[in-house]
Structure 1
Amino acid sequence: MLVSKEWLNEYIKIDADIDALAEKITRSGIEVDSIKKYGEDIKKLVVGHVVSKEKHPEADKLNICKVDVGEEEPVQIVCGAPNVDVDQYVIVVRVGGRLPGGVKIKRAKLRGEVSEGMICSLQEIGLDANVMPKKYADGIYVFSNEPTPGSDALEALLLNDEVMDFDLTPNRADCLSMLGAAHEVSALYGNEIKYPNTDLTEAPEKATQEISVAVQNEEAIPYYAARVVKNVTIAPSPTWLQSRLMKAGIRPINNVVDISNYILLEHGQPLHMFDQDHIGSEQIVARYAQENEKITTLDGVERELLASDVVITNGSEPIAIAGVMGGDFSEVTDKTQNVVIESAIFNATNVRQTSRRLGLRSEASSRFEKGIASERVIDALNRAAFLLQDIAGGTVLSEVVSDGTLPETSKTIEISTHDVNQLIGFELSTEEINVIFNRLGFATNVSEDSFEVNVPSRRNDISIKADLIEEVARIYGYDQLPSTLPNFESTTAGYLTDNQLKTRKVKEILEGAGLDQAITYSLVHKDVAKDYALEEQEVVELMMPMSEDQAVLRQSLLPRLIDATRYNVARKNKNVALYELGRVFYSNGENQLPTEVEFLSGILTGQYTGNKWQQKDEPVDFFLVKGIVERIAEQLNVSFTFEAAKLDLLHPGRTAYVKLNDEVVGLIGELHPKVEKENDLDRTYVFELNFTKVLEQPVGKIEYEAIPRFPGVSRDIALVVNTEVTTSTLISTINENGADILNHAEVFDVYEGEHMEEGKKSVAIRIDYLDVTETLTEEKVSSVHNQILEALEQQGATLRA
């Protein structure tokens, strides 16, 4: 909403400069986005009267004009505007003057003729071409009145002004008008408001003899009112009216249309002007549209209506879409003589639905959508009739023709001084609170420290006590709120929970390993929702998804991480390492909240980059990813085991489950070649952990042991086993039979090749023995070692010669 200070001063006098006013309004809760100061870069701009005009002897498109600028003799100005003519009152910038953009005006010769200044268009003095009257779009501006030559042109145009741009939130629809802005300023400064003149001189003839009004659906049209104005003269609006509209961002058309736009901005009440002679009947009927009923709107487009649309009709066919746009055959034209003014309240929901569906968003529809003040419906109607009488020379017929019930113009809320002070921490007196309510324009009945506050309908954002308390705090000043510290009997230092500490540690590990954190959408396509899921669960489907790709909640983080990797690789970022810590969702049935589980997932493809000065890049492989997962387990002080697995979308020979206490809590693997091909990826490895289960694993206190005083013994063995035997099985057997001197067993080589029997492989294992109480003897080590070998042989393993 653009608010002109000059226009605002018509309703409330403000001594503060524009910057101070904007700051005070912003502090009260309405942000002033910007301030436009029209006269800031302009000097020596005066009113000129064109006394004579002659063709330039050397240029067909130039005219030599003698212009009275308030001096003893007219000055000569060469002008190229096609619409310049004798006896016009125009805008002139004198020699030595300046225009917006740093343009300086000097005495010049144009094709041999001296030019003592410049006759200006509105665009040249800073107005946007989109808001200028069309007749002046390609030429100079001509005053509709006769201001004194030599007087300040900015004052004559009401452009010696500053305009604030209010960034209004949807609840503050009351400030979508100049009177609303005046009420806001009045609340802040306490100055009285002067309301616009609506003193009509009505003709004896009654409007009810000319036209009737009927409302068929009051839920859609609670109230409809009209006035009839006869014998109007269509002409350009006065300069002051045109100027105010242009400063508010609206293009002047003619006096009748401009008056309806003026009232829209002044009162916040949209009006519509019908040409009475083209309505087609002597009755106006407001109703719901009939299904597939058609109307051609003012923009010349034929529109098909639905039964939920509200229309204004002549009893048989629509002449306007209520609150949105009028019909073409009843619009005001240059030949209009008799006007019917409409002022009504329409159902906000209907207007919003219709304007959105038809793509007809306007200043009027935006106000109807947010709610219209009941108390201004008749005032706006009378004000429009007054201006038509005053500006267009119309005759206003007596009486308002109406139907429906005008909603209540106020609502009553009870509140007390204690309620206000308790919530916002002030110590305001009853009198101080009452003054604030009165400055807001709320009538009050006060009994001791209790109030009955009558809130006008223009403030439809106020409905409960808390709203009134907010208004008191806002007007008194948020910056006046007392600063207090919380009062605690005992305080404790803040700290991170165990889970927060563990999460941060895991992030440090992954980022230290070169992975970048990703955050992906929780919504996925139904076809991939269960891909890579660790559990068989029902998915959670959205009732109204935005698209098929975002129709259900995920059960794995990997599908979206694969999408992110594909996106990067397609843009020449071949080496990708991402991780995500996010939630998956399992359905608990209809009307039940889903179960949310924290997951930790990662994806790596391309080359794994080390330090350039220490090592070469290496391709990502299964064991690199397994090492990252083992590093996570080490830092969380848990022990993972790995078991070969087969999953549909992962490589059949390079996939493993991650187990914790014999329970599957995750997976590691390479994407299936088919999946890699579909996503244009090279070998790509992923991991996924049920992080919630990992964090639930209890971790005891760290117990320290003394460094052993006795030396250990290591023995290497090479076992020949069937190819399908996993090394983890061999390690488990060794651990189970190592008695109390087995310290560690680790695989250091696996061989399959030409020197091995088909279906066999060689596994080399290093076994470390240690006794912390005494020196190991050969006999003791051999006894345990042989016991381990016997157990391995029972499982089909043989020592390799």
Structure 2
Amino acid sequence: MFVSYKWLENYVDLSGVTPEDLAEKITRSGIEVEGVERTGAEIKNVVIGHVLECEQHPDADKLNICQVDVGEEEPVQIICGAPNVGKGQKVAVAKVGAVLPGNFKIKKAKLRGEASHGMICSLQELGVEGKLVPKEHADGIYVFPEDAEVGSNAVELLNLDDAILELGLTPNRSDCLSMLGVAYEVAAILDRGVKLPEAGQSSGEEKASDYVTVNVEAKEDNPLYGAKIIKNVKVGPSPMWMQNALIAAGIRPHNNVVDITNYILLEYGQPLHAFDYDRLGSKEILVRRAKDGETFVTLDDTERTLSSSQLVITNGEEPVALAGVMGGANSEVQNDTTTVLLEAAYFTGAIVRGASKDHGLRSEASTRYEKGVDPDRVLKAGERAAALMAEYAGGEVLEGTVLFDEMNVEPAVVEITLEKINASLGTAISVEEVKDIFRRLQFDVSVDGTSFTVTAPTRRGDITIPEDLLEEVARLYGYDNLPLTLPKGESTPGGLNNHQLKRRTVRRYLEGAGLLQAITYSLTNDDKAAKYALDVKEPVRLLMPMSEERSNLRLSIIPQLLEVVSYNKARQNDSLAFYEVGSVFLQESGEELPMEEEHIAGALTGLWHSHPWQGEKKAVDFYVAKGILEGLFEELGVSEAVSFRQASMDGLHPGRTAEILLDGEVIGIIGAIHPEVEKELDLNETYVFEVKASPVFHYEKPALSYSPIPRHPSITRDIALVVDTDVKAGDLKSVIQEAGGKLLKEVSVFDLYEGEHMEPGKKSLAFSLKYFDPAKTLTDEEVVKVHDGVLAAVKEKAGAELRG
């Protein structure tokens, strides 16, 4: 619901309260204000101008040279390309130095050799959405009424200096789907009165009952129907203030008759419909259920096939409106309409909602009927709309309202005690304070000791039980004023268990590393169900799948992450990094239901680092993905127990894939996507990983130990070993570590050489070894003794020779 601050001022005194302050107060009282927009806040120096002369540009067919009076000593010359500009018009002029939305500044210019000192503006150029601009001004400039004062502020006249509050209403607060409903709410918050609009009186000597009769067959669906007749109507533009109000609320102006019904819809929250009486085809209104297969053309020129579950307004024979949803093209108000039949009715929410859903027609009217309108305002809204048609369309309102009325709605009477209020809220509110809150809400209340009997008005259909009254007291007393208390007695403090803490650590770390969280379907198709699975199981197929694409429970998260990467790459996002902590489903033999196992998976592609200014780029590779996992294992405290081993898996690159082991047990996989799969999914080089969460989360870490800062120097030795090409660096490193004993503290690979100076089938691996004794300074003899043992071990166990 869009609420105009200036419009709201017609009903409630808002002096001393800015739109932003009001938004804060409304939000704190329980209705969220999603935003406050000031449409014309950026606009400066735009005034009303009078076009004195308008001649075609000598060198441009679509341009006109206009002499415009902008309230200064001399007229200014402006070149304008709008097709509807003409002599004698009052228009919006952005003078030289003006600022338009988007920080667009107006300067002196020359167009095809002719000077232009300003710009004649359309509504779109002043920040109004194109879909809200009246049709007659949609393709050109906006023309003001003749009484607009030259030189006056155009922004104020267009009401663009208004503030629009967007209310995010919950379904129970349909009373605030109207300006009057919001006015009651704001008046209660500010403790001020509400000024209601005057409904108006009939002015004609003839009676409406002489022109039409109203009959209702579907009484349960339509317990109240009123029809008013307005004669001698002249259809034309609605007054400017009304157009401004509709535009502020997000409704496009059409003509005075339609605009008045829309204005009352917003003011009272009561949908109305205007029929062209002469096109109605009879003097009868009959409300009934539609016949199955009956057809009807709505205002959008679409033929609708109706069913018996839908309610229609008919002329006794054929439908002229789909009740509460949309009128018919056969009775539409047009420019030659002179007599209007105005409908003000109460339709039940269920019947309107069903028709709206069946035909895919959701309108401002159907929304209000679905959520519930105030029965007490139905006829008042009709009277007010008829009076406005008399005032702004020159109409003559015939005496009386032709009425069908079997409405029986009584205000809800609800009781609550002070003890319940204070016990529930933890407050010590007095009887007088509670009574004053109900007074501000304009609820009738009687007090018997500490018991309150409250009569809720029909506009507040959400008040039905004591808890509803409790909510009203709490929100107007102020949620911020409710005391903060801790539970008394024995209790177990809340908190996250170890698994939840580890899961949160994983998410925090991976997002800190630059990966975005993805949440994908657990359902996939037959081809992808078992792809990249860490545990080979029979996929679980659903008995009644939504589609073949979502027919199996997944065994791996990687296929879904690759879908995410492919989707984003197709939209020109090339550098991507996603992760997901989700479940896979493993079918165990003899078990009816699969076991749900949590996995951590990721997918990376494109550039990992890019610094265009320094000209630095680093593409994602195997070691980027591996480094992210190593950092994660370090964060979780299991890095000492984790190792990587070369592996192969269908769908992954044969030379860039490794298993992840925890204490020798395989818990995951990391690698590059196979080029054939990349081509199939239209991916660039992409790396993925997937790890079982449970072994990592529940790993029993050794007790934390500390060692003193070294006081003695270490000794480093570098060796290059010639081995067969099939010998793995990791295996050789393990041999070195084992042979080095307690003195060997660090071993790292720093070079691999395979080239023309190496025998066929051989390669050179270079290691850096650091020896250190925390108790003393090592001598060369001690290091040489251990180092020789290392060289002997690698020769014996791996056939390694020291490279000369």
Q: Same fold (TM over 0.5)?
A: yes
- Report what 1:678 is aligned to: 680
Residue number in structure 2 paired with 1:33: 36
Q: 1:401 aligns to what? A: 403
Q: Match for 1:516 among 514, 517, 530?
A: 514
Pick which of 632-641 and 422-431 moved more: 632-641
Q: Distance in 2 between matches of 1:92 and 1:202?
A: 38
* Aligned equivalents of 1:14, 1:633: Cα separation in 2: 59
- Taking the TM superposition and a 5 Å limit, the aligned residue runs for 1:222-621 are 222-229=222-229, 232-235=231-234, 243-249=241-247, 256-305=257-306, 309-333=310-334, 336=337, 338-348=339-349, 351-352=352-353, 354-355=355-356, 360-385=361-386, 392=394, 394=396, 396-398=398-400, 400-402=402-404, 405-406=406-407, 408-478=409-479, 481=481, 484=484, 516-523=514-521, 525-526=524-525, 527-535=527-535, 536=537, 538=539, 555-562=555-562, 578=577, 580=579, 582-586=581-585, 595=596, 597-601=598-602, 603=604, 620=621
Shift of 1:531: 2.3
| Inter-partner Cα distance in structure 1 for 2:85 and 2:672 | 76
Q: Deviations over 1:125-182 (max 9, x none)?
A: 9999956695998755246xxxxx999999xx99899755231223343233332233
Give the aligned residue type for 1:657.
Answer: E
Q: Residue type matched to 1:326 in 2?
A: G
Q: Percent identity?
A: 35
Distance 1:696 1:426 in 2: 45
Matches of 1:183 and 1:331, distance apart in 2: 34
Question: How many equivalent pairs are there?
Answer: 726
1:639 matches 2:641: yes
CA shift for structure 1 position 586? 2.4
Amino acid at match of 2:36: D
Whether the 8 Å CA contact 2:530–2:554 is kept in 1: the answer is: yes
Are the aligned partners of 1:22 and 1:164 in contact in 2 as well (CA < 8 Å)? no
Contact 1:579 1:601 in 2 (8 A): yes
Change (3 A) 1:365 1:616: closer
Q: Distance in 2 between matches of 1:55 and 1:627?
A: 72
Over 3 Å counting, the alpha-carbon distance change for 1:343 and 1:666 in structure 2 is same
Kindly indicate whether the alpha-carbon contact (under 8 Å) linking 1:752 and 1:761 is maintained by their aligned counterparts in 2: yes
In structure 1, distance between residues paired with 2:253 and 2:734: 90
State the alpha-carbon separation in 2 of the partners of residues 529 and 389 from structure 1: 70
Q: Counterpart amino acid of 2:178?
A: S
TM-fit CA distance, 1:312: 1.7
How far apart in 1 are the matches of 2:9 and 2:753? 93
Paired residue secondary structure (1:533): coil
Q: CA deviation at 1:271?
A: 1.1
Report how far residue 666 of structure 1 moved. Answer: 0.9
Structure 1 residues not aligned, in runs of 5+: 70-75, 85-89, 103-118, 144-148
SS of the aligned residue for 1:284 comes to: strand
Kindly state the Cα deviation for residue 721 of structure 1 after the two structures are TM-superposed. 9.4
Quote how far apart the aligned CAs of 1:376 are. 1.4
Q: Distance in 2 between matches of 1:269 and 1:410?
A: 18
Contact 1:762 1:800 in 2 (8 A): no
Question: What is the CA–CA distance in structure 1 between the aligned matches of 2:482 and 2:442, rounded to whole Å?
Answer: 26
Give the alignment partner of residue 145 of structure 2, picking from 141, 144, 148.
Answer: 141
Structure number with bigger Rg = 1
Q: Deviations over 1:564-603 (max 9, x none)?
A: 66678889998x7946352233278999898351415465
CA shift for structure 1 position 701: 0.8
Please report how far the alpha carbon of residue 337 of structure 1 lies from its aligned counterpart in structure 2 after TM superposition. 5.2
Report if the CA contact (8 A) 1:562-1:603 is conserved: no
Instruction: Please state how far the C-alpha of 1:755 moved relative to its aligned partner.
Output: 13
Q: Which amino acid aligns with 1:471?
A: E
- What's the CA shift for 1:279? 2.2
Q: SS of 1:699's equivalent? A: coil
Conserved? CA contact 1:731–1:745, under 8 Å: no
* CA displacement 1:266-288 (0-9 Å, x = unmatched): 32211112233432334433344
Q: TM-score, normalised by structure 2?
A: 0.67
CA distance in 2, matches of 1:790, 1:63: 97
The aligned residue for residue 112 of structure 2 is: none
The residue that corresponds to 2:113 in the other structure is none
SS state of the match for residue 451, structure 1? Answer: strand
Q: Residue type of the partner of 1:520?
A: A
CA apart distance, 1:696: 0.8
The change in CA–CA distance for 1:402 and 1:538 in structure 2 (over 3 A counts) is farther
1:685-696 alignment, distance < 5 Å: 685-696=687-698
CA-based RMSD of the aligned residues comes to 6.8
Q: CA offset at residue 493 of structure 1?
A: 13
Partner of 1:106: none
1:693/1:233 Cα in 2 relative to 1: closer, same or farther (>3 Å)? same
The alpha carbon displacement at 1:229 in A equals 2.4
Q: 2: CA distance between counterparts of 1:506 and 1:253? A: 57
Write the distance in 2 (CA, Å) between the matches of 1:208 and 1:620. Answer: 86
- Aligned equivalent of 2:177: 176
Deviation at 1:377, TM superposition (A): 1.7
How far is 1:7 from its partner?
6.0
1:108 paired residue number: none
Q: Unpaired runs of 5+ in structure 2?
A: 59-63, 79-83, 102-119
Supply the distance in 2 between the matched residues of 1:558 and 1:471 (Cα, whole angstroms): 50
Instruction: Name the CA shift for 1:667/1:421 in 2 (closer, same or farther; >3 Å).
Output: same
Q: State the Cα distance separating 1:430 from its structure 2 match.
A: 1.6
Output the TM-score relative to the length of structure 1. Answer: 0.67
CA gap 1:550/1:410 in 2 versus in 1, 3 angstroms: farther
Counterparts of 1:750 and 1:63, CA distance in 2:
80
